[in-house]
Amino acid sequence: MNDLKLALLGFGNAGQAFAKMLCEKQAEIRQVYGRGVIVTAIATHSKGTIVDAAGIDLVKACKDVTETGKFAADTRGLCGLTTFAVIEQADYDAICELTPLEIFTGQPAIDHIKAAFGRGKHVISANKGPIAWAYDELSAAAAAKDLLFFYETTVMDGTPIFNLVEHTLKFCKITEVSGILNSTTNYILEELAAGKEYDTVIEAGKKLGFIEANPAMDIEGYDAAAKVTALLNVLMKAGITPDDVDRTGIENITLEDIQAAAAKGKVIKLLCKGRLTDGKVEASVKPVEVDQSDMLASVDSTTSIVSITTDLMGKLSVIEHAPEIEQTAYGIFGDVIRIMELAPTSES
């Protein structure tokens, strides 16, 4: 059987970690499925673009990027194609949308995905923008052509959330979701509680890689709003965008607020919530005081939690403890495995 061919759009930390996981597990994949997974294209803005129908040497690609920040000049298939040209012209079965998040529009990732569906290709998105901004349209486009569309990585990395509901909670109706979906705010609130200044915390967080170049995404709750929107669109067919989320960030939380909460035995967390009330979905992202004995209070540092309330199975929570980049990679890897299992194979 033919190998499954992937085109990676973007090759940042998550893409490189995914490439390494794929190399490590290649033999096991071939043993289980009788065919492998190869990457036939990688399109990036700053590292160069490779198109190689015979399969890119991922070990070399990772090594070159680690050492020099871009693909080496001697790389077979190195070319000047744009990302859209790669989507339109390369030989692949599925794209992995790994480009940087554009949180206010979801673009150009949405158009990448539409173009891939237009060519009859499957799509994996680790980019939450498209799920937050255009889920209904994209999932309809996939369904119309019997194509697969997976996005487990968009909320809490590879932690099973969408897969959990689809595969293990059959016939359950989801009535509420809540959680701490942006763990960067845990970190910031903890550092503030320790008496550090806002600017110092942000600078240190940037250096540690916890905080994005534009810290407003985390601090003002945009990232959390995009994630709760993705959850609600997929799990509750909400049909909303991040603009519909009642959003308050932690930018106005002061050391005094944190100390006042502590004096009451409480701790401040940026909580996401979505609920179905009278057939209407209400979504919010807000700093909330929770009891120190509450499970949410124990979700600290880079840990995150999602709680799902259902009609048949009551309330469940899933916690991802202190993830590393490998857990993001696993989200993509798991979606690739689902495509291996579900996509019809084109015989060679």
CB of 212 to a copy of itself, least distance (A): 22
Shorter beta-carbon distance to a copy of itself: residue 66 or 293: 293
Q: Is 214 annotated as a binding residue?
A: no
Encode burial over 216-228: b for 16+ CB neighbours within 10 A, e otherwise.
Answer: ebbbbbbbbbbbb
Identify whether 130 is preceded by a cis peptide bond (ω within 30 of 0). no
Shorter beta-carbon distance to a copy of itself: residue 106 or 158: 158
Shorter beta-carbon distance to a copy of itself: residue 71 or 150: 150
Which tokens go with 271? 């909580």
Q: Which of 41, 58, 131 is nearest to 95 (CA)?
A: 41
Shorter beta-carbon distance to a copy of itself: residue 44 or 159: 159
Which tokens go with 302? 């880079």
Annotation marks residue 227 as catalytic: yes
Q: Which of 117, 77, 67 is nearest to 97 (CA)?
A: 117
Q: Is the dihedral of CA 300, 286, 227, 10 positive or negative?
A: negative
Q: In angstroms, what is the C-alpha Rg of the chain?
A: 21
CB of 26 to a copy of itself, least distance (A): 11
Q: Is 12 annotated as a binding residue?
A: yes
Cα–Cα distance for residue pair 348/346, rounded to 1 Å: 6
CB 294 within 8 A of CB 285: no
Q: Is 265 annotated as a binding residue?
A: no
Q: Is 314 annotated as a binding residue?
A: no
CB of 151 to a copy of itself, least distance (A): 14
What end-to-end distance do the CA atoms of the chain give, in Å?
6
Q: Is 11 annotated as a binding residue?
A: yes
Interacting residue ranges for a copy of itself, rule: CB under 8 A: 21, 25, 28-29, 158-160, 163-164, 167-172, 292-295, 297-299, 307, 312-324, 326-327, 330, 333-334, 337
Catalytic residue selected from 227, 266, 269, 273: 227
CB of 180 to a copy of itself, least distance (A): 12
Which tokens go with 276? 């179905």
Which tokens go with 99? 């480009």
Q: Is 127 annotated as a binding residue?
A: no
Angle at 280 (CA atoms; ends 109, 166), nearest 5 degrees: 55
Binding-site annotation: residue ranges: 10-15, 128, 212
Binding-site annotation: residue ranges for NADP(+): 10-15
Query: Looking at the annotation, which residues are catalytic?
Result: 227
